[in-house]
Each structure stands twice: as structure tokens, then as C-alpha cells.
Chain A
């Protein structure tokens, strides 16, 4: 038992964090939200080079082998820096396309960040269909390629919701939807945790600087305790995410997804409130994380769906 990231994992996380800190992601996000993808694509290319898109792909197709722990650590950083694009969908696609002949055809480009992919989750529009070169839609007959409909606005402007129209014969008639969903959920959980941690960091910095009544507002207990609760919720979500990445049991991943998204959303509410009116503006960069925390709550599994999985598993463990 050693439930700690090892030196290599920490180095991977640190280098990814440094890459993203240098990338000025807020500016990239704002362009992406307007449908301008050039800088976003350049950032994706750097992430591909760092190995982010190969973490759910076998070695024979250019990936690193399936590495859910590293994937979770990477998505935590992606969330922390509000990186835009169909990140989670790329993970789901990697699972869905992993069979001949599609694997050899699509996966190397996916790993290299050259073929941006999106997948529609069950019953929903796809994320960033306008930016993707390959769009996948689940249909009753199997997994099909699809053409994008008009973009619909999301509460998170960086998430461009695109209805997909299936096109042609299925690529696969029996793709591993359940498995792909588990991987996508893990990625969302880690991403949400990163979003929450970023919101907390920014808010702690803000309340330490903002003064009222002659003192920093962060010296008031009413302010401190909300932030202490946010920190506690996030720090108890973190081991759920990493533990789920180790076990990859659907119920564990669902628990992690639920708790990470709740912690991130709770932190978003706290962040918004403690920033006062400035936090309520689109212009202030905090909004990039605030809106994402809301959207991720229901992406790839609602709280209700996640609880159902947890309860079914727990009932199975209790003797009648």
C-alpha cells in the first residue's frame, strides 16, 4: 500500500503544470469560445507532445498504454488551467476506436493531437463538434461518424455544444460504451477537481488582497470558514479520484465523479460569492472556471446516475 503519486508521476504533473502556466490559457479559452481555434490547436499539439492524449491508448497505436492514474493526474492539470476542447471526448473516443481496423487508422492521429475527436455522450450533443476533425455518434446500429449541426451555446462559453447527425454505416456495431463511459467519467472527475482547486487558489489570493474595514476580507471568520470547507471538500474528493483511477471499478469512478464535481461546484459558489460583484462579470477570468464547474456536474453522468451506481454496488456488498 502506497497511496501517493511517485516521483515520475509528480514530475509529469509538474511539467504539465509548467507548460500550461506558460500557455496563457485564459486568452486561449476566450478565443475558443468565439469559435477561433488556432491557439487552442497549438496548445493541443503541445499537450500531445507531453503525452496527454496517449494515456488511454495502447502502445501499438502510439499511446503510452492505458494509464488511468496518469490520465487522472493530467486531467487535474487540464482542469486547473481551464484548457478548452473535447478533452474528455478524446479519452472516450480512444476506448471506442480501439479495435481493428479503426485503431490503426485513427488512434495515432488522436495521440499526436492531429485529429481532434469528439464523441456525443448518450443522448446529448457533442462537445466542440465544430473544432473536431472526427465526430462520433452512438446510434442503435453502432458507432457512426457524424456531421455537426449548428453550435448551441453552453452555460460555459468555452464548451460549444454540437448536435451530431450520424452519417453512413457504423464504424463498429458493438463498441465498448460502458468502458468508455467509465474512462470519460474519470477524466471529468479529475478535470472538475482541477477546476475546483484553481477556483480555490484564485479566491484565496483575492480575499488576501481585497481590504474592507481596513483589513483583508480574508481575515474574517465568515470568509475563512467557507474557504476551509471548500478546501476540505476538494481534498476529500482527491483520493476518491485517484483511488478510482487505480481500481477503475464503475462504482468507484461514479463516486469520484459525483464528489469531485460537487466539491468543484461548491467551490465555484464560494468563489463567486467571495469575489463580490467582480466575480459576476464575464470579463474577469474567474468566470472561465466558474461556468465550467457547473457544466461538468452533469457531463458524462449526472449526480443521480452516479449515486445509482454507488448504491447498486453497496447493496451488492451487504448480505441480505
Chain B
């Protein structure tokens, strides 16, 4: 007969790790929230927080110890994130690099690149921006036209990138460039490169997001030299390499369940503080359930991953789910706050502005739904 071997409990070692994280966070999380990381002062404060995390190996717990991590693996990361967000710790200014570039480097980079790039990323000494989108290449990213032209000992970048998150204040950027304009198909002949945002030929023009804060920027590139050592993987293979990043981004590491569990708990607290009004009852309950569903879905995916499976197109469901959950949760909070919710500097309104972008970035939810329909459900391809 069958046995109930499914298990949602954690080992004593996992629990010990969780307790250690909790204790460290209780002692270190700033009591007064840091200024918005989309301002110069806030960016600097968040960078200092990254250094404080890194000093005790808490900034990148899943990474190998030699690069600044704790070898805690995916499960350790999930537990850490639950504690991190429950503790009300600051947003992570290093997230683009840590969650998008680092997994790619660990998989496709050379040991030299990892040793050179990862430790200063872990400490916040170098903060990374992403350089994917272009004015004419958004959802159809493979139609990008920014160039990488062969030069002596490296490449010369030219063209324009946009919606580059964190670029207003960041140090370096990573992205895709067209190195072979004669390639037969749009996603061939692309190269994945890292470059310095302060290199000669780079112009950064910050863009104010909805609240006016420069959360992203345009990048104008004019013969920007990139040495060969900053090419990730083989030239021309950039699309394949970047998609392994995109799979990661949409998968488990961009938005951990811990964020939503903490936010749902805060929402319940807000609902109670406002006298448990009837109009929000259903939405508060649904936020609690949504956060729980996201957590369990993630643990199921992590279990498959730890059992040797790969994260596939099912991660597109994650992206749609968390981005909609995040928005619904913040909208409910603003409704509970009433006219007070209009004030831009509140934690909920800041979170709301951030959540508004969720359905668009990291592959729009329409692109994700196409992936779900075509690759998971097996429906025929059609016009977008």
C-alpha cells in the first residue's frame, strides 16, 4: 500500500539555518526604513546595506562560499527569503546582478569571470543594471539592433538600450548585442556582454518612472570598448545563454514567496487595524491564500529541481501569478488606507508603484501566457 512520504517539514539543519538568519536579521535590520533606492541617497544607503549583509555572508546565501555565499542551495535561499522579508528588511539594490547575471555566470561564465565579477557583486561594491530592451525591441527582444563590432582584443558597442532598471545609479550593465548582422534568424548572431556604465562612449539618461523617481534609464552607446574577457559564453550564442537567465528570472529567484507571505501578513494587520471592514474581507482572504499558494507552488517546483528536474515553461505561470498577486495585494492595502493611501511616501504606496510594473517587465504577462499556451498546453503557434 502507498505511503505518505510527501513532506513539508524542514530538517534540523535547515531550521538551524533559519534561526541563525532570523537572529542576524533581528540584530541588523535598520529600525528606520532606508530612503527609496530609486534616489541617489537611497541607492547609497542600500549599497551600504548590501555590504553589511555581505560581511556576514547573508547577501547571496545560495552561492558558493568562495564567492561570498553560504552554499545554502535553493532551499536555504527560500528559507532565508522568508526570514528576510518577514523581518521588514530593505529592498535589494543588487538584485539585477544577483538574480539575473550571477546564475548565467555560474552556468556559462569562466572561473576567472566568476572570481572577478561575483564577489564585488555580492558585497554591493559593484551594482549591476540590465540592458535588454531597446526602443524597437520590447516583447520582441530578438529584434534588437544594438551592435557589437569586433575590435582588437574585444568589441565595440553601439546603439541604444532603454528601460534599464537601476542604471541611473549602477556601475555596470549586462545585455545582448548583435555581433553578426548577417545571421539568418533574429535570435542568431547575438552576443552576451558585460560593460562599464562609466566607460567612454556611454551616456546614461535617467528616466522617471510613474512617481518621477529615476528607477530606470536610457543608455546611449557610442563605440564603447568591451574586452574579450567580458563576453559571456561564445560570441553569437547570446540568445541561448540569455534565455537560461530569463528562465531563471521568471522561475524561482526573481520574486521569492517570502516577499508575498510578509506582505499578506502586513495586509491582514492593516485590515485589523482598520476594524476588519467588510468591503475588503474577500480580497484580504484571497491575498493570504494567494501567498500560501505561491509558497507551496514554489516548494513543489524546488522539489522537482532538487530531484534533478529542470525549470521549464511552467515558470511562466509563476510570473503571471506573482505579478497579479502583488498588484491585487497593494491595491487592497491602498483601498484600506483610504485617502491616506494617496500619499506617495508610504510603504504601501511605494510598493504599489513598484507592483504596477510587474505585469510588464521580465517578459510581459501576454508573452508568458503565449508560452503557457504553446509550450505547456501544446496549442498551435499563431500571430502574436
- The range of chain A's interface size is 35 or more
B interface, over-half SS: helix
| Contact A232 B6, CB 8 Å, known A1-B303, A220-B382, A311-B285 | no
Residues of A within 8 A of B75 (CB): 1
Assess whether B8 is in contact with A3, with CB atoms less than 8 Å apart: yes
- The answer to whether A160 has its CB under 8 Å from any CB of chain B is no
The interface of chain B, by Cβ under 8 A from chain A, is: 1-11, 14, 75, 264-265, 268-269, 272, 276, 281-282, 284-286, 288-290, 292-294, 296-297, 299-300, 302-304, 306-307, 314, 317, 320-321, 366, 368-370, 372-374, 376-384
Q: Do A4 and B10 form a contact, CB below 8 Å, given A70-B4, A219-B379, A221-B384?
A: no
Contact (A310, B269) CB under 8 Å given A236-B293, A239-B293, A246-B7: no
Determine, out of A5-13, A37-45, A129-137, A138-146, the stretch whose residues face the partner at the interface. A5-13
The smallest C-beta distance from B272 to any residue of chain A, in angstroms, reads 6
How far, in Å, is A310 (CB) from chain B's closest CB? 5
Q: Would you call A255 and B321 a contact (CB within 8 A)?
A: no
Closest 7 CB pairs of A and B: A219-B382, A239-B296, A224-B373, A228-B372, A228-B369, A307-B285, A6-B5
- A242 and B285 in contact (CB under 8 A), knowing A1-B299, A228-B377, A232-B372? no
Q: How far is the CA of A307 from the CA of B286 in the complex (A)?
A: 8
Residues in A with CB closer than 8 Å to B369 are 224-225, 228-229
Q: A239-B297, A239-B299, A318-B265 are in contact. Are A3 and B7 (CB under 8 A)?
A: yes
Residue of B nearest to A5 (CB): B6
With beta carbons under 8 angstroms apart, the residue of A9, A11, A229, A240 that contacts B293 is: A240
Residue contact A307 to B9, C-beta cutoff 8 Å: no
Q: Is the CB of B282 within 8 A of A307?
A: yes
What residue in chain A is nearest B288 (Cβ atoms)? A314
A199 within 8 Å of B (CB atoms): no
| Distance to closest chain B CB from A233 (angstroms) | 9
**In-complex Cβ contact of A1 among B8, B281, B284, B377 (8 A):** B8
Which B residues are in CB contact (< 8 Å) with A208?
Answer: 378-380
**A residues near B376, Cβ cutoff 8 Å:** 228, 231
A2 touches which one: B2, B7, B292, B379 (CB < 8 A)? Answer: B7
B11 neighbours in A (Cβ, 8 Å): 1
Q: Does A22 contact B (CB under 8 A)?
A: no
Nearest Cβ on chain A to B319's Cβ, whole angstroms: 10
B4 close to A240 (CB less than 8 A): no
* 12 A-B pairs in the complex with CB atoms less than 8 angstroms apart: A1-B8, A1-B11, A3-B6, A4-B303, A9-B6, A204-B378, A221-B366, A221-B382, A236-B294, A238-B300, A240-B292, A252-B292
Closest A residue to B299 by beta carbon equals A3
| Complex interface: chain B residues within 8 A of A227 (CB) | 373, 377, 379
Provide the bound-state CA to CA distance between A227 and B373, in Å.
7
Query: In whole angstroms, what is the CA distance A265 to B151 when docked?
Result: 60
- Roughly how many angstroms separate A5 CA and B7 CA in the complex, as a whole number? 9
